[in-house]
Amino acid sequence: MEFGSGTFPLGAAQGQASMIPTLVTIVMMMAIFYFGIIRPNKKKEKEAAKMLENLAVGDKIQTYGGIVAKIVQIKEDVVLVESSGMKTRLELMKWSIKSVLKPAHKKSSEEETE
């Protein structure tokens, strides 16, 4: 029983062919990781940075801690806010602001109808 010339050309070809699906799988996993995780996170970070740059006095904000308040004063990295009710004032770091609920520069629907 003889299997070719003894150099096993079929075995070498099969070894190289098995490397291609492995590489394709690795590339596909990296692409899924990039487009599924890294890219959306970068987009959210850019939107959050833009939101923090565009803060204005009078904006109604919500913090990660659940505080809802109105901005009274803006410093470099600190925001002075006033909560509703007892008019309690707090100094918050800008990074703690989760979202702007009601921008001050936009007119509300009530002001537009009057």
Domain contains 94: yes
**C-alpha pair distances (Å), 91 with each of 70, 85, 87, 101:** 12, 17, 13, 18
If pLDDT is split at 50, 70 and 90, which confidence band does 114 have?
very low
Domain contains 79: yes
The CATH number linked to 62 is 2.30.30
Instruction: Report the residue count for the chain.
Output: 114
pTM listed for this prediction: 0.62
Domain contains 25: no
State residue 106's pLDDT score: 62
Residue indicated by tokens 């309690």 = 88
Domain contains 107: no
Domain contains 15: no
**C-alpha pair distances (Å), 73 with each of 11, 42, 45, 56, 94:** 74, 29, 24, 8, 12
Domain contains 32: no
Q: Which domain holds residue 81?
A: 55-102
Q: How many domains does the chain have?
A: 1
In the predicted model, is pLDDT for residue 17 greater than 70?
no
